[in-house]
Chains A and B, each alone.
Chain A
C-alpha cells in the first residue's frame, strides 16, 4: 500500500501534472457542471439495436476532465476493482493527450472500452470521488471519460499493444473467455506466460457476447479488445469445454502448469411456479443468447425467437432491464418489468432503469407472478400476478416483500422472460471431484490468492461470487494472475533448491508432479 501511495505521489509530482493543476483554480473547477452523456432519442432507439449512449466529443471530454481536482489523496482509485490510475488518465485527457490516456488505462485494465460502458461507476470510483464525498455534488464522470479515451484509441486505428517480455515457456490456461478470463490472460501475457483461453461457445467473450446487448455494449468493441490480447500472444480456443472435450488432467499432460476457472454463473434460475415450462417462457439467459449471440432478431440468421405483443420480464436486475428493452425493440406493444419489491430496491443500475422508463417500459413493482396459463398449443397467453407489500428488512438489508392475500389478478402475456438470477455452472466442479465447492455450487477459494483447494487451480468471477459484475470478475482475473505468478515462481524456486541439494532426477520429477 505504502509503495503504491509513493508511486502515485511521484506520478502526481511530475511537471506536466503540476503545471496542469496551476492552470485553473480548484474553486473554478468545482463550479463546472458535470457533462451529460449524449444519447439516442428514446422513441428512436427503442426501435433499433444501435448503442444508446453515443459517447463524449473531444471538447466534452476535455471539459469534464477539467472538473477533476487531481486530489493529493485520490480516493477514486480505492473504488476501482482493477486499480486504474484515475487522476493520471483524466489529466491526460485534460491535456489533450488522448492516446496517452488510453495507455494509462491499459496499464491495469485489459478491457477499458468495455468497462467504460458497463461498470457501475456510481457505486465504485464515482461514489468515492471528492465531489460526492465532500461537496455533495455530482462526481467527475470517470466512466464516460474512460470510455472516451478507450474509444478514441480504438477509432484511431493505432491501438498500442502493451509490451510483453519474451515467452517464459510456461503454459497456463483460462477456462472461460469472459471478463475474468480476459483480464487474467492480459496480465499473464504481460508477465511473459504462454496463455491459452478455452471457450465453450463459438464466440470469444463469454457474457460480454451472449449476455450484454448490442445497444449497451457493441460486439465490435469487445472484438477489438480481444484482438489486442491476441497481438500480445494470447491464444484462443473456441468450441472447447474443459472437463468434457478434454479434462484438466489431459491438459496438464499437454504441458499446462496452472489454470484459472472463470466459467461464470451459467445456470438460469426458475421460480418453479405452475405453467413455467409453457412455450414463450424463456430464461433471461436463453432470450439474451438468442438475440445477442445468435442474432435471432435478424431474419438472415437461422436462430428463431418468439417476439410477443405483451411481454413480461420477471426481475429487477440489469439482465431484466436488458431483456425488457430488447422485447420493446422486437416490437412489443407492452413491455413490462414485474418485480416483487419497490423500485428503490431494484438491483439494476440507476441509468438502466432510467433508460428503460424513457423507452416506454412499464414497471409493475410490488408484483409477483404466481401462475401461467397457455392456449391449446401450449403457448403462454395469460399470467396471474399477486400484489406485494414491504415488511421488515431481511438478511440482505432490503425490506422483505410479503404477498397480499386476495390481491391476485390476471393479465395477458404472450412472452415471458424469467430473470431471477443464475446459479454457478456445474460442468467444471462435476469434472473435478476434489475441488472444494460450496453448498450453492460456487467454488471455494482463498480470499487473497483466489487459489482453490487444488493448488494449481485458481478461480474467479461469477463461478466464485455467484452473480456479480463484469468489473469484479476482471478484478478477480487480475488478482488470480498475480497470485498464480507467485505460486509458479515459488514452485520453480523449490525445484531449483532440490536440484542444488543434489536430489536425483527421479525425486525432482516426483516433486514436479
Chain B
C-alpha cells in the first residue's frame, strides 16, 4: 500500500502522482520502472518513474488515461493508496560521456525521458531534447527538461506550440545542423519506430526505452517479449532499453494490440459503470 501525497493534472488525460515509496526512491536509477495494481481485482501494469525524492521518500509517476487501470489510478486522490507498487524494475540506463546526446520524447514518454536526460547531462554531455505531442496541452515537463538540457525543441502536430511537425522533423533539423553522438528515444512505439529509421539513415547509435505489456515484471511470464537483433528478449529484465536499430518495432506494435478487442470492451463497460456512479 503506497499513499498518494500529491496530484496534479497536466491535462484532462495526463495526471502526475507523487507517491510514498521510500525504498524505491532510494534505489531507483534512470531507466527504471515500477509495476502497479489498483484494487483487489486490478491488473498489473508497468509505469516508468519520472522523478524521485530520497529525502521525502517519494517517487513521481506520470499517467495517461488510456485504459481501465490507468483511469482507476488517475481517479485516486491525495491521501488514498495504490494497492500494490513494486520496483524499481529493469536495467538502469547505461550513462556515460559520449559528447552530444539527442533525446526525444513523445506523449507521456517524456516522463521516463526526464531522469535519462538529467543523468546524461550530469555525466557531462551536451543534451538536446525534442519534445513532441499532438497539441500544446499535451506537452509536459517542459520546465524540468529545460533545467537539464542545453536546448529544448518543442514540436506539435497542429502547430499550437513550438514548431509544427512531427518529432522526426525536429530531430532531422538538429542532425543536419550538428554532430550527434547518441540518440535516446522514449514514446509511443510508432514514434520510436520512425525515430529509429531516421537515426539509422544518419548512422547515429540509438537507444529506445520500450513500453510493452507486462504481468509480473520480473522475467517470469514473457508477456513483454520483443525481437531484438533476431533474438527474443524480455523487456522487463533485459530492458527496457535496447539498441533501437535492432528492435522489431512492427512485431512490438502487433503485440501491443494483443488484447485490443477485450480492452475496448472492458474500457466501455468501465466507463458506463463510472458514468452511472
8 Å CB interface, B203-247 against A: 215-216, 218-223, 225-227, 232, 234, 237
Question: Are B225 and A290 within 8 A (Cβ)?
Answer: no
8 Å CB interface, B241-277 against A: 251, 254-255, 257-259, 262-263, 266
A176 to B144, CA, bound (A): 39
Q: Which residue of B lies closest to A278 (CB)?
A: B254
- Say if the beta carbon of B23 comes within 8 Å of chain A: yes
A239-B84, A289-B216 known; A277 vs B257 contact (CB < 8 Å): no
Please tell me which one of the listed residues B69, B221, B257 contacts residue A286 in the complex, with CB atoms under 8 A apart: B221
Question: Are A286 and B24 within 8 A (Cβ)?
Answer: no
Count of A residues near B, CB < 8 Å? 41
A266-B218, A267-B220, A302-B42 known; A245 vs B88 contact (CB < 8 Å): yes
Question: Are A377 and B254 within 8 A (Cβ)?
Answer: yes
Binary contact readout A269-285 vs B (1 if CB under 8 angstroms, 0 otherwise): 01010001111101101
Question: Are B259 and A304 within 8 A (Cβ)?
Answer: yes
Question: Are B43 and A294 within 8 A (Cβ)?
Answer: yes
In the complex, how many angstroms separate the beta carbon of B268 from the nearest chain A beta carbon? 13
- Say if the beta carbon of A301 comes within 8 Å of chain B: yes
Question: Are A378 and B254 within 8 A (Cβ)?
Answer: yes
In the complex, how many angstroms separate the beta carbon of A75 from the nearest chain B beta carbon? 38
- Say if the beta carbon of B41 comes within 8 Å of chain A: yes
In the complex, how many angstroms separate the beta carbon of A274 from the nearest chain B beta carbon? 11
Please tell me which one of the listed residues B68, B84, B220, B263 contacts residue A425 in the complex, with CB atoms under 8 A apart: B220
B-side contacts of A302, CB under 8 Å: 41-43, 68-69, 266
Q: Which residue of B lies closest to A199 (CB)?
A: B86
- Say if the beta carbon of A426 comes within 8 Å of chain B: yes
Please tell me which one of the listed residues A245, A268, A295 contacts residue B23 in the complex, with CB atoms under 8 A apart: A245
The range of chain B's interface size is 35 or more
A294-B215, A427-B237 known; A377 vs B257 contact (CB < 8 Å): yes
- Say if the beta carbon of A354 comes within 8 Å of chain B: no
Question: Are A268 and B232 within 8 A (Cβ)?
Answer: no
- Say if the beta carbon of A240 comes within 8 Å of chain B: yes
Please tell me which one of the listed residues B41, B221, B225 contacts residue A300 in the complex, with CB atoms under 8 A apart: B41
Main secondary structure of the interface of B (DSSP, over half): mixed
Question: Are B222 and A290 within 8 A (Cβ)?
Answer: no
A-side contacts of B234, CB under 8 Å: 267
Q: Which residue of B lies closest to A374 (CB)?
A: B254
A471 to B225, CA, bound (A): 31
B-side contacts of A377, CB under 8 Å: 254, 257
Please tell me which one of the listed residues B24, B83, B226 contacts residue A202 in the complex, with CB atoms under 8 A apart: B83
A-side contacts of B75, CB under 8 Å: none
A-side contacts of B220, CB under 8 Å: 210, 266-268, 285, 289, 425
8 Å CB interface, A8-26 against B: none
A418 to B221, CA, bound (A): 11
- Say if the beta carbon of A306 comes within 8 Å of chain B: yes
- Say if the beta carbon of A505 comes within 8 Å of chain B: no
Please tell me which one of the listed residues A238, A245, A277, A378 contacts residue B225 in the complex, with CB atoms under 8 A apart: A277
Question: Are B219 and A427 within 8 A (Cβ)?
Answer: yes
Please tell me which one of the listed residues B41, B69, B251 contacts residue A277 in the complex, with CB atoms under 8 A apart: B251
In the complex, how many angstroms separate the beta carbon of B52 from the nearest chain A beta carbon? 13
B-side contacts of A239, CB under 8 Å: 84-86
Q: Which residue of B lies closest to A294 (CB)?
A: B43
- Say if the beta carbon of B160 comes within 8 Å of chain A: no
Please tell me which one of the listed residues A238, A268, A378 contacts residue B84 in the complex, with CB atoms under 8 A apart: A238
Q: Can you give 24 A-B contacts (C-beta < 8 A)?
A: A202-B44, A202-B83, A240-B86, A241-B89, A244-B27, A244-B87, A244-B89, A245-B87, A246-B27, A266-B219, A267-B237, A268-B220, A268-B221, A277-B255, A283-B221, A285-B220, A289-B221, A301-B42, A301-B43, A302-B42, A303-B43, A304-B259, A304-B263, A427-B219
List the 4 shortest-distance A-B pairs measured between CB atoms, nearest first.
A378-B254, A286-B221, A239-B86, A302-B43
